[in-house]
């Protein structure tokens, strides 16, 4: 079906990004609950292509990554013999992570290997949900929609409310379906259901919202919401062929772990010689640009810090640190391997504990100081350190296709 035909057939969904809410902002009267909407009979499983018939630029960003620098390099699951998992792309950049969430075109996928093929992550298949208040101690996951409706994260997944209206930041009167303005769509709470996993456990995976709330916003480090960094704004119409005003509109890109711009601005790296003429070093890893921990999200994500001491061109000493989220509520540790075998998520738990203890992620605003005293003879050396981001710490380290260097620095070192 062409976009022109979709525009006619799905006129009811033509202003998906223009407005909508299910509860009034603080200090305002609650709106009258609308009758169930007939505009979205498939609910949050409504294909995003239907919305893209009228919201052309927004759909282009969501589905193709226009305006971003996102890349999905080939990733192997564990060994170099595995077939590289790649995402198809018709343009030079890649689709947003939301557009490909729940899409599984691969013969091998982590879910199939770790969870026996179960589509257990309801965040990829959510039913309509309400934006939680900012002081919620434990943010619940969204309710899963019917299995027959599974279609990944669609436009409606975020914009369709339980009452059947469409939420957005602005008051809209010209939309062909029920809309109500809700400024909270611009708040980090909009992301909380899927980017918080249970109660806050410092170091645990998939707690990005809680890291932002407690370590960044709550600590007074900044006022930026998730959208300010991950959905940069532009001025345009939200529906190009409709008589709607030009407004400040968020780009629907959500650049993150697949974006060199986001990764490159997160961490800073400094080498310091603590005592003159001694091999007594400090490496400072500083979270200067992220409003949450780095790395964040999936426990697969990691940052490696490798430091080499060179005598001329020869490496005479090496040290490496791994920064990664824990799989569960405790540090990853080989001591739990026997216990892991009894768990229903045994494969996932074992692969985390097999790597043993490691550094937890660098929290918002944190400066992590790591000491190193390499055994060196008297002489002149160069210390070279670099930070490398790895999309999958569980695969063979020799596979560099999913790695990206974030920072590199060096320091002349004299030892007597």
Q: How far apart are CA 352 and CA 178, in angstroms?
A: 47
Confidence bin at 17 (pLDDT 50/70/90): very low
CB contact set of 385 (below 8 Å; sequence gap of 6+)? 269, 271, 283, 305, 306, 307, 308, 408, 409, 410
Q: How far apart are CA 149 and CA 156, in angstroms?
A: 12
Interval 293-339: pLDDT, tens: 999 999 999 999 999 999 999 999 999 999 999 999 999 999 999 99
Q: What is the tally of helices (H) and strands (E) in the chain?
A: 11, 11
Tell me the domain boundaries of the chain.
1-187+225-259, 260-415
For 94, counting Cβ atoms within 10 Å of its Cβ (0-12 exposed, 13-18 middle, 19+ buried), the class is buried
**pTM (two decimals):** 0.86
Interval 222-232: pLDDT, tens: 999 999 999 99
Interval 182-194: pLDDT, tens: 999 999 999 999 9
Question: Lowest-confidence range among 48-62, 214-228, 296-310?
Answer: 48-62
**Does domain 260-415 match CATH 3.40.50.1820?**
no
Confidence bin at 379 (pLDDT 50/70/90): very high
**Structure tokens that stand for 411 in this block:** 């320091």
Mapping DSSP to helix (H, G, I), strand (E, B) and coil, where does residue 18 land?
A: coil
DSSP 277-334: TS--EEEEEEE-S-SS-BS-SSTT-EEEEEEEEEETTEEEEEEEEEE--BSSSS---G
- What is the predicted pLDDT for the residue at 73? 77
Q: How far apart are CA 329 and CA 407, in angstroms?
A: 30
Interval 235-286: pLDDT, tens: 999 989 888 899 999 999 999 999 999 999 999 999 999 999 999 999 999 9
Q: Name the DSSP class of 120.
A: -
Q: How far apart are CA 383 and CA 256, in angstroms?
A: 30
DSSP lists the bridge partners of residue 272 as 282
CB contact set of 137 (below 8 Å; sequence gap of 6+)? 199
- What is the predicted pLDDT for the residue at 14? 30
Q: How far apart are CA 215 and CA 8, in angstroms?
A: 47
Q: Are residues 150 and 125 in contact, defined by beta-carbon separation less than 8 angstroms?
A: yes
**Structure tokens that stand for 298 in this block:** 């999936």
């Amino acid at each position: 079906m062409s976009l022109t035909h979709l525009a006619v057939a799905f006129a009811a969904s033509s202003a998906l990004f223009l407005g909508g809410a299910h509860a009034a902002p603080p200090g305002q009267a609650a709106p009258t609950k609308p009758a169930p909407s007939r505009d979205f009979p498939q609910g949050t499983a409504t294909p995003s292509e239907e919305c893209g018939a009228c919201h052309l630029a927004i759909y282009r960003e969501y589905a193709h990554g226009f305006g971003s620098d996102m890349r999905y390099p080939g990733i192997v699951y564990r060994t170099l013999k595995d077939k590289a998992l790649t995402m198809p792309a018709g343009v030079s950049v890649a689709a947003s992570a939301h557009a490909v969430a729940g899409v599984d075109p691969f013969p091998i996928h982590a879910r199939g290997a770790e969870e026996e093929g179960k589509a257990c992550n309801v965040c990829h298949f959510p039913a309509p949900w309400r934006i939680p208040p900012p002081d919620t101690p434990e943010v619940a996951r969204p309710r899963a929609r019917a299995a027959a409706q599974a279609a990944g994260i669609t436009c409606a997944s975020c914009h369709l409310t339980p009452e059947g209206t469409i939420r957005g930041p602005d008051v809209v009167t010209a939309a062909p379906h029920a809309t109500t303005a809700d400024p909270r769509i611009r708040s980090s709470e909009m992301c909380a259901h899927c980017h918080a996993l249970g109660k806050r456990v410092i170091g645990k995976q998939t707690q990005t919202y809680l890291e932002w709330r407690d370590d960044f916003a709550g600590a007074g480090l900044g006022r930026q919401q998730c959208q300010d960094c991950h959905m940069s704004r532009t001025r345009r119409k939200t529906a190009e062929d409709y008589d709607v005003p030009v407004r400040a509109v968020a780009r629907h890109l959500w650049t993150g772990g697949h974006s060199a711009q986001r990764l490159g601005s997160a961490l800073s790296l400094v080498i310091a010689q603590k005592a003159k003429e001694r091999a007594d070093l400090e490496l400072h890893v500083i979270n200067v640009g992220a409003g949450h921990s780095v790395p964040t999200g999936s426990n697969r994500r990691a940052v490696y810090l490798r430091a080499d001491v060179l005598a001329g061109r020869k490496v005479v000493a090496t040290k490496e640190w791994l920064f990664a989220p824990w799989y569960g509520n405790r540090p990853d540790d080989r001591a739990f391997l026997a216990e892991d075998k009894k768990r229903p998520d045994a494969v996932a738990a074992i692969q985390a504990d097999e790597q043993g203890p490691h550094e937890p992620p660098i929290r918002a605003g944190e400066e992590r100081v790591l000491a190193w005293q390499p055994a060196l003879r008297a002489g002149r050396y160069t210390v070279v350190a670099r930070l490398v981001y790895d999309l999958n710490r569980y695969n063979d380290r020799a596979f560099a296709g999913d790695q990206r260097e974030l920072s590199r620095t060096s320091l002349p070192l004299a030892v007597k």
